């Protein structure tokens, strides 16, 4: 989406310092607004005649959350100074100052981002306007691209430890159109996050009501993709988050985790060591470092085809690597004794060092066990359904308690998971590590059986072998000239789609994504259904409107409507309806809604990409032209090719 620029300036005609009238509406229309639009920004101005010290709620919201504020200081206007003061007090950056001719300079506000413009007869000087407009465009672009570490506000520069509020803290108590849009967007994001739908999150991340929300959006998208083990796509989202705020701690941590999972262990370690330097008392950074060091240690001895005894013998030779994993976990628990996850990680690794015959301090193990017991039990008292706390306690029991105690603790832990397959899988992976090193075989096997039984009950998330994405022409409406997909060509199109699916070896275990319009869409879905492929239809409108616009318009529309209902009645999942799940299309700066067909194309594509770029197979039935409007097959084709997806193009110009 476009960045928002808020303009604080006088409006109408006002008397300048030399007694001449200045037409500030022309200054805005001819100088400021075109310059900011040339920088790719949506521009908003306070056009209401406010009392000094007063500001309308919608304008205040925009002032505080806008990506850039341009303040015109040609006059000593009380409202402009008030708005500038509010911005400086609550936001550390994102201000550009402009001014026309005036006697003397305004109050020193310690910022170098200031431009002067010329006037002739009370309006922008035509002789200098082009150059001055270009200078403002360049400064606005530079301000948006500058490091997020650079503080423009004199308040934040003079008070180095002052933290600017998060965007949620800047929402007004009263409902405004702006705050309602933010709240609605945040609600949709939370639903998509809970349902593990990264495609929805990726689309919503493109549609944030303001760029101030984009950091959270990219973090959320990356977090869900990380959970789904789509590390490369998750890394892209965390990089986008860091482009917005290079200091964002969460994104830096998760980027390191992605790099480690992609084989970049040294780069991940360097990132986390830098983070620990920036946050020396933060436990989470150290726990993550311990996690990737544990992965490095286990990768040295968990070799395919080795028996538990062989792996244990190999692990005994890797004591130095094990020590590298223990140290940050132990330091994290010392820094934050309530961090039971850090404590159980340090304790587990210490016990495994003893199991492998390495040097260990029994007194230290006893102290760690007592600390973990207190931290995990305390966390359970605060929240009886805290799965991580119960999992830490269960693992504590596994490390030293009798078999029955282990069974009881893991039984209580899986109950707290409440069907969260991913949470249970994290416990399963930890137990696999203990099993592979032959640690307490009976107790580990009992715990693993309990966790795996719980995972069977909630079922693993579906993961397709390949994702078949389709876009194609609809059957021509009656009388269409020139014809593009006549009804008589249906058989040829169906056979071409069938051949393409056979070449892709489409079968059960695959996922097919498409709209369900008459013609190409339904032919594709029917062919996939016949091959046992799992289907997901995704519609840009509520079903009655979609049928009216995309099914019945065919020359034999009633025939296609019956085929639509026959297909959808046999689906395991109802068609997903875009406005019901993602809300109405957002509006651009002119108030125009985004094209729903283009939006649905992106929704389909992001949903497909979330399973991994390598799994995407795009099939299109297309004549290579621009179609009848925005959001057609041409748009989808461009978007897929831009992301290097594999394309099977069924060119209708050669089919009939």
- C-alpha distances (whole Å) from 367 to each of 1, 250, 371, 640 are 53, 30, 6, 56
423-430, Cβ contacts within 8 angstroms, sequence gap of 24 or more = 423/387, 423/388, 423/391, 424/451, 424/454, 424/455, 424/458, 425/455, 426/391, 427/391, 427/394, 427/395, 427/451, 428/452, 428/455, 430/348, 430/395
Contact indicator for 148, 246 with CB cutoff of 8 Å: yes
Highest mean pLDDT among 354-358, 509-513, 622-626, 637-641: 509-513
What's the pLDDT at 112? Answer: 55
Mean pLDDT of 134-156: 84
User: How sure is the predictor about 102, in pLDDT bands with cuts at 50, 70 and 90?
Assistant: confident
Burial of 500 (0-12, 13-18, 19+ CB in 10 A): buried
- Could you give the CA distance from residue 357 to residue 561 in angstroms, rounded to a whole number? 71
Contact indicator for 6, 68 with CB cutoff of 8 Å: yes
What's the pLDDT at 544? Answer: 97
Give per-residue pLDDT as tens, 192-203.
Answer: 888 889 999 999
Give per-residue pLDDT as tens, 149-198.
Answer: 677 888 988 898 888 887 778 877 777 766 777 778 888 888 888 888 99
Q: Range of 56's domain?
A: 3-165
What's the pLDDT at 627? Answer: 64
DSSP state, 104? S
- C-alpha distances (whole Å) from 400 to each of 366, 392, 410, 413, 476 are 11, 13, 14, 17, 72
Considering only 8-17, 129-138, 257-266, 638-647, which range has the smallest mean pLDDT? 638-647
Among 358, 354, 435, 353, residue whose Cα is nearest residue 398:
435
- Residue 123's φ and ψ, nearest 5 degrees, are -135, 165
Residue 643 lies in a domain: yes
What's the pLDDT at 540? Answer: 96
What's the pLDDT at 594? Answer: 75
Give per-residue pLDDT as tens, 355-368.
Answer: 999 988 999 999 99
Cross-strand partners of 115: 98
CATH number for the domain harbouring residue 604: 3.40.50.450
Q: Please report, rounded to a whole number, the percentage of residues in the chain having pLDDT higher than 70.
A: 94
Among 234, 47, 69, residue whose Cα is nearest residue 144:
69
- Residue 453's φ and ψ, nearest 5 degrees, are -65, -40
User: How sure is the predictor about 435, in pLDDT bands with cuts at 50, 70 and 90?
Assistant: very high
Residue 48 lies in a domain: yes
- Could you give the CA distance from residue 615 to residue 507 in angstroms, rounded to a whole number? 14
CA 552 to chain CA mean position, Å: 37
Contact indicator for 115, 136 with CB cutoff of 8 Å: yes
Cross-strand partners of 116: 99
- The two three-digit tokens of residue 62, written as one number: 């925009």
DSSP per residue over 583-610, as a string? -SPPB-TTSPBPPHHHHHHHHHHHHHHT
CATH number for the domain harbouring residue 150: 3.40.50.2300
Is residue 115 within a helix (H) or strand (E), and if so which, with residue range? strand 114-116
The number of domains in the chain is 2
Residue 401 lies in a domain: no
- Domain boundary pick from 165, 195, 217: 165
- Could you give the CA distance from residue 234 to residue 258 in angstroms, rounded to a whole number? 7
Residue 406 lies in a domain: no
Is residue 418 within a helix (H) or strand (E), and if so which, with residue range? none
- The two three-digit tokens of residue 257, written as one number: 């985790």
For residue 53, pLDDT over 50 is answered with no
Residue 402 lies in a domain: no
- Could you give the CA distance from residue 7 to residue 4 in angstroms, rounded to a whole number? 10
For 13, residues 6+ apart whose C-beta sits below 8 A from its C-beta are 21, 22, 23, 24, 25, 122
What's the pLDDT at 52? Answer: 47
Contact indicator for 471, 620 with CB cutoff of 8 Å: yes
Residue 516 lies in a domain: yes
Mean pLDDT of 518-543: 97
**Other beta carbons within 10 Å of 353:** 20
Cross-strand partners of 21: 15
User: How sure is the predictor about 453, in pLDDT bands with cuts at 50, 70 and 90?
Assistant: very high
With H, G, I as helix, E, B as strand and everything else as coil, classify residue 282.
coil
**Is the bond into 482 cis (omega within 30 degrees of 0)?**
yes
Give per-residue pLDDT as tens, 312-327.
Answer: 999 999 999 999 999 9
For residue 413, pLDDT over 90 is answered with yes
Among 89, 91, 103, residue whose Cα is nearest residue 166:
91
For 21, residues 6+ apart whose C-beta sits below 8 A from its C-beta are 13, 14, 15, 122
CA dihedral 381, 383, 387, 393 (to 10 degrees): -10
DSSP state, 473? P
For residue 209, pLDDT over 80 is answered with no
- Residue 609's φ and ψ, nearest 5 degrees, are -65, -30
Mean pLDDT of 639-644: 84
Is residue 512 within a helix (H) or strand (E), and if so which, with residue range? strand 511-514
Mean pLDDT of 442-463: 92
- Could you give the CA distance from residue 96 to residue 77 in angstroms, rounded to a whole number? 17
With H, G, I as helix, E, B as strand and everything else as coil, classify residue 45.
strand
CA angle, 218 as apex, 217 and 224 as ends, to 5°? 90
Q: Using only the alpha carbons of the chain, give its radius of gyration.
A: 30
Residue 586's Cβ-side half-sphere holds a number of Cα atoms within 13 Å equal to 21
- The two three-digit tokens of residue 299, written as one number: 């990768």
- Could you give the CA distance from residue 596 to residue 637 in angstroms, rounded to a whole number? 17
Q: Helix H segments across 504-595? A: 520-530, 543-550, 557-569, 578-582
- Could you give the CA distance from residue 217 to residue 197 in angstroms, rounded to a whole number? 13
In whole numbers, what is the pLDDT of the chain averaged over residues?
Answer: 90
The end-to-end CA distance of the chain, in Å, is 41
- Domain boundary pick from 136, 165, 194: 165
Residue 629 lies in a domain: yes
Mean pLDDT of 494-504: 97
- Could you give the CA distance from residue 625 to residue 649 in angstroms, rounded to a whole number? 13
- Could you give the CA distance from residue 16 to residue 188 in angstroms, rounded to a whole number? 49
Mean pLDDT of 255-279: 95
Give per-residue pLDDT as tens, 580-624.
Answer: 999 887 765 455 667 899 999 999 999 999 998 899 999 999 999
User: How sure is the predictor about 228, in pLDDT bands with cuts at 50, 70 and 90?
Assistant: confident
What's the pLDDT at 519? Answer: 97
HEC string of 127-176 equals: HHHHHHHHHHHHHHHHHHHCCCCCCCCHHHHHCCCCCCCCHHHHCCCCCC
Mean pLDDT of 62-77: 90
- Domain boundary pick from 165, 185, 210: 165
For residue 54, pLDDT over 80 is answered with no
What's the pLDDT at 51? Answer: 43
CA angle, 650 as apex, 617 and 553 as ends, to 5°? 100
Residue labelled with tokens 């879905």: 525
What's the pLDDT at 320? Answer: 95
Residue 413 lies in a domain: no
């Amino acid at each position: 989406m476009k960045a928002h620029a808020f303009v604080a300036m006088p409006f109408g005609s006002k008397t300048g310092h030399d007694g001449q009238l200045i037409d500030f509406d022309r200054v805005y229309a001819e100088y400021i607004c075109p310059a900011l639009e040339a920088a790719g920004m949506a521009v908003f101005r306070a056009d209401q005649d406010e009392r000094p010290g007063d500001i309308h709620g919608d304008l205040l919201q925009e002032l505080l959350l806008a990506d850039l504020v341009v303040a015109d200081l040609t006059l000593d206007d009380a409202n402009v100074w008030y708005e500038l003061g509010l911005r400086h007090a609550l936001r550390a950056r994102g201000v550009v100052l402009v001014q026309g001719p005036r006697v003397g300079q305004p109050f020193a506000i310690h910022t170098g981002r200031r431009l002067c413009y010329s006037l002739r007869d009370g309006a922008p000087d035509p002789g200098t306007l082009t150059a001055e407009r270009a200078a403002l465009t360049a400064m606005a672009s530079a301000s948006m691209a500058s490091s997020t570490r650079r503080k423009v506000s004199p308040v934040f520069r003079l008070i180095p430890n002052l933290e600017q509020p998060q965007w949620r803290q800047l929402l007004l108590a009263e409902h405004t159109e702006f705050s309602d849009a933010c709240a609605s967007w945040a609600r949709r994001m939370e639903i998509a996050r809970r349902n593990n739908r990264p495609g929805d999150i990726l689309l919503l991340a493109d549609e944030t009501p303001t760029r101030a929300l984009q950091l959270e959006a990219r973090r959320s998208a990356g977090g869900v993709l990380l959970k789904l083990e789509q590390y490369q796509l998750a890394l892209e989202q965390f990089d986008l988050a860091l482009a917005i705020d290079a200091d964002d701690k969460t994104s830096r941590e998760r980027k390191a985790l992605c790099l480690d999972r992609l084989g970049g262990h040294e780069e991940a370690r360097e990132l986390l060591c830098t983070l620990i330097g920036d946050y020396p008392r933060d436990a989470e950074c150290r726990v993550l470092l311990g996690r990737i060091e544990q992965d490095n240690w286990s990768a040295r001895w968990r070799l395919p085809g080795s028996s538990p005894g062989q792996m244990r013998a190999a692990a005994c030779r890797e004591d130095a690597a094990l020590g590298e994993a223990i140290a940050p976990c132990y330091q994290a628990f010392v820094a934050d004794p309530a961090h039971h996850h850090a404590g159980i990680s340090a304790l587990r690794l210490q016990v495994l060092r003893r199991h492998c015959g390495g040097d260990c301090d029994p007194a230290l193990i006893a102290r760690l066990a007592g600390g973990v017991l207190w931290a995990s039990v305390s966390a359970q008292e605060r929240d009886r359904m805290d799965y991580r706390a119960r999992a830490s306690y269960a693992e504590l029991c596994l490390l030293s308690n009798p078999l029955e105690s282990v069974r009881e603790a893991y039984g209580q832990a899986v109950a707290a998971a409440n069907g969260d397959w991913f949470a249970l899988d994290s416990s399963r992976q930890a137990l696999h590590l203990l099993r592979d090193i032959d640690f307490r075989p009976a107790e580990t096997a009992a715990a693993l059986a309990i966790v795996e039984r719980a995972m069977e009950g909630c079922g693993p998330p579906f993961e397709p072998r390949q994702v078949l994405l389709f876009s194609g022409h609809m059957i021509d409406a009656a009388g269409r000239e020139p014809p593009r997909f006549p009804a008589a060509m249906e058989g040829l199109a169906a056979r071409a789609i069938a051949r393409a699916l056979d070449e892709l070896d489409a079968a059960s275990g695959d996922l097919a994504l498409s709209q369900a319009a008459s013609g190409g869409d339904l032919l594709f879905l029917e062919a996939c259904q016949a091959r046992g492929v799992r289907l997901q239809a995704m519609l840009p409108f509520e079903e009655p409107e979609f049928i009216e616009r995309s099914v019945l318009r065919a020359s034999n529309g009633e025939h296609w409507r019956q085929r639509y209902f026959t297909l959808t009645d046999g689906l395991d999942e109802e068609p997903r309806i875009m406005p019901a799940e993602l809300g109405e299309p957002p509006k651009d700066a002119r108030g125009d809604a985004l094209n729903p067909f283009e939006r649905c194309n992106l929704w389909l594509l992001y949903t497909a990409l979330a399973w991994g770029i390598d799994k995407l197979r795009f099939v299109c039935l297309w004549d290579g032209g621009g179609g009848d409007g925005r959001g057609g097959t041409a748009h989808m084709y461009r978007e897929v090719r831009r992301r290097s997806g594999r394309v099977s193009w069924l060119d209708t110009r050669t089919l009939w």
